[in-house]
Structure 1
Amino acid sequence: MFVVKLRRALLLFLGATLVGIYGSTAASAGPASTASAPSISSVSALRGATAGGTRVTITGQRLLHATAVLFGSSRGSAIHVSSSTSLQVTSPAHAAGSVWLRVVTPSGRSVLVSRGRFSYIAPPVVTSVSPPSGWSTGGSRVVVRGANFLDVTGVSFSGVAGRTLAVAYSGALTVTAPAHAVGAAYIRVTTRYGTSLVTAADRFSFVDPKHVQSFQYEGTTDPNQSLTATWRSTRAKAPWVVTLHGGSWIHGSQAYTAWAASVFYAHGWQAFNLSYSIGDKVPYSQQVTDLLAARKWIAAHAAQFGIDPNRGTAYGFSAGGHLAAVLGLSGGFRTVVSVSGVLEPQRVAADGVRVAAAAAPANPAPNPEYNLYTRERDMMGCEYAGVSGSDGCAQRWRDFTPEYAIGRSRPMPAFYIVQGAQDPVVPPASALDFGGILRAHGVTDSVVMMAGFGHDDRELFGSPTKIITMLRWDLAHSS
């Protein structure tokens, strides 16, 4: 019993001695120091760029004398203490990842709390784009894959902003490509945390949807049995036009109607500029065969060219206007546009015979209309003596005359006829007469007589207003 009492006395003595030397342990340790240290209750930004620079507002207690704000072990900058409960600080650069925020004052450091976490986000990275190319007119839907697609603010194609942005998740997004110059571009993703660097993986090529290519529509190598197609890949179920050059049926080339083809193409048509068999020895029947073969070839490739087979236009000037009428009436076309077309070759022939009979022997070619008749005569292989006979000559002249093709196929195309009122080659009255014949057969027509113009397609294509009028008419009747 004595030993136990002695041990208790020694313990009480030692405890009293320690308190006297160091003071109360309870008063100087935890509660007193914790009560004076700063604390964090919330932060305004939970993440920022690895490059630093994010302005963060910290709300808490006892922040008035803050001397530092630590992001992990790195010090923030530009500290501004608003009050004892609020301060602002700029985040330092730091590797990607999550760090603790701690406020330091002379009284100590804030303790680690979950609401004091701050995440560093690396800039986005692009690893692939699909598809790798699209039309220069824009509209391609592009899937961009990579990493760190968080808080995306934009996607650009070599500086041109994409449209209709949708982020699927942090590793993938979709964007609509803008219109852009033809050629390669680089796709850059921008987030609140930076912009992706240019790499080989982010290349996107803008391709011109316009195509110009020559084709042999009869499977030969004859350049006079070829066509030049001009089409845009972005068009679908588009109207289309066949353009036929003039040249009195014996000469001429696609160059004569290249301008017309380009005008139609520029306004939404897919254009097919045709060559056909020409020459002094080429029979008219061969030209018709060529045109029908071209029509069949185009229809067979409708999907390739993005055309609606039922929205075709046959366009021609002079002798090409005659051929356009014959081709259009043979079926497969909704409209025919004839400019100074030889729509009544029999009238030209009758006038030619009459003029020749009245001409002096020293003047066998007294006018341009007579010259045109000689071309007709050579093609038919006989002098014109009317179309009512039963002989081969009369039959050839009937086949040559568009009037006798009316009604061969249904539905019949609508006609837009442009004629120069001072045309010295094609009798201007023939356009009016042929229009009347069409109406008598129930065919829609529009005859436009151009005062002051002769035998020249500039009577139409020399005026933007006239072009637009014709195209609107054609579109209305081919839809």
Structure 2
Amino acid sequence: MPTDPDGIGGLATETVSYGKHRHQQMDVWWTPDGVKRPAVFLIHGGWWSSGDKKYMTEITRSYADRGYTVFNINYRLSTEAAWPAQRVDALDAIATAKRHADRWAFDASNFVVAGFSAGGHIAAAVGTYGNGLPGLKGVVGLSPIISPLRAYTDGATAADPNARRLRTASILLAGGCAPKGKCSRVWASMEVAWHASAKDAPMLTVHSEDEFVPPSQSAVLKEMLAKARVPVTVVTVPGAAHASALYREVSVTERVQEWISERIG
């Protein structure tokens, strides 16, 4: 049954399953006043192999407090299923939300997807899946891994241990094999920019200048989507903060919230 979390007046929340696997769940926060509202879908990071929606609770609450219906998604990890399981799960979670839009006061024609690090990759992959997803008005990535292939290449010679770890994580996401031979197809599927099309949603990506997921990750996405006449805004800020830590910088939080408001109100 829906509950009023922590006694917050006017908000309800529940955890629902959108599939049979234990990680195919999402937390839903909404205002049960009968008014359909735009939604924010949140996707956590964690190298595709770890992390959990519980670490996104504070951010989930902040968007619910701003009047959005919020879906905070878990998905099958790369230790449990190889790509494209993670994109499939995000799409299934969105489809489930649409089927039950009335229950959660959700305007299914008006939503954005926001992801952090590996979750940013999943969010961006949703954004370039097919030729546009109905109702999707924008995608936000905080330190998004736009190109696992570039992460694989860069990680081979990187001094940063996180960059080397990202290379290993990308291999695991692909099912444990390098981007050649029989695995070339799955690696191609993982490359967000290679699937750009004219009806894709606009995107906003944010990187720190010196983090291990560099702004250059988003440069190719901006180039490819520009060819399809889809706007991409790449924001770079000083420092090395990554994903959630980057988002919590006040200027970044405000920039993301403003961008989302411009897309869906």
Structure 1 residue 405: deviation in Å?
2.4
1:324 aligns with 2:123: yes
Task: Find the partner of 1:311 among 89, 92, 110.
Answer: 110
Task: Find the partner of 1:346 among 149, 162, 174.
Answer: 149
Structure showing the higher strand proportion among its residues: 1
1:335 aligns with 2:138: yes
1:434 aligns with 2:221: yes
CA contact (8 A) 2:28 2:69 kept: yes
1:266 aligns with 2:65: yes
Q: Distance in 2 between matches of 1:400 and 1:334?
A: 22
Q: Distance in 2 between matches of 1:467 and 1:266?
A: 14
Q: Distance in 1 between matches of 2:98 and 2:188?
A: 28
Structure 1 residue 308: deviation in Å?
1.3
Structure showing the higher helix proportion among its residues: 2
1:396 aligns with 2:186: yes
CA contact (8 A) 1:224 1:276 kept: yes
- Residues 377-431 of structure 1 show CA distances to partners (whole Å, capped at 9, x for unaligned) of 122232134xxxxx53111101011112222xx631111111111102x123222
Q: Distance in 1 between matches of 2:256 and 2:86?
A: 27
Q: Distance in 2 between matches of 1:283 and 1:352?
A: 20
Structure 1 residue 469: deviation in Å?
2.8
Structure 1 partner of 2:209: 421
Q: Which has the higher contact order (CA 8 A, sep 6+)?
A: 2
Structure 1 residue 318: deviation in Å?
0.4
Letter in 2 for 1:472: E
Larger radius of gyration: 1
- Residues 154-196 of structure 1 show CA distances to partners (whole Å, capped at 9, x for unaligned) of xxxxxxxxxxxxxxxxxxxxxxxxxxxx8xxxxxxxxxxxxxx
CA contact (8 A) 1:215 1:228 kept: yes
1:296 aligns with 2:95: yes
Task: Find the partner of 1:454 among 237, 241, 245.
Answer: 241
Q: Distance in 2 between matches of 1:458 and 1:250?
A: 19
Structure 2 partner of 1:370: 164
Letter in 1 for 2:255: T
Change (3 A) 1:236 1:405: farther
Letter in 2 for 1:367: P
Letter in 1 for 2:69: Q
Structure 2 unmatched runs, 5+: none
TM-score by length of 2: 0.88
Give the SS at the match of 1:398: helix
Q: Distance in 1 between matches of 2:140 and 2:12?
A: 24
Which aligned runs of 4 or more in structure 1 are off by greater than 6 angstroms?
none
Give the SS at the match of 2:103: helix
Task: Find the partner of 2:252 among 466, 469, 475.
Answer: 466
Letter in 1 for 2:11: K
- Residues 55-92 of structure 1 show CA distances to partners (whole Å, capped at 9, x for unaligned) of xxxxxxxxxxxxxxxxxxxxxxxxxxxxxxxxxxxxxx
Structure 2 partner of 1:405: 195
Matches within 5 A, 1:89-108: none
Q: Distance in 1 between matches of 2:262 and 2:223?
A: 21
Structure 1 residue 231: deviation in Å?
0.5
Structure 2 partner of 1:251: 50
Give the SS at the match of 1:209: coil
CA contact (8 A) 1:348 1:427 kept: no
Letter in 2 for 1:216: S
Structure 1 unmatched runs, 5+: 1-135, 137-181, 183-206, 357-364, 386-390
How many residues were matched structurally?
Answer: 255
1:224 aligns with 2:10: no
Q: Distance in 2 between matches of 1:427 and 1:462?
A: 17
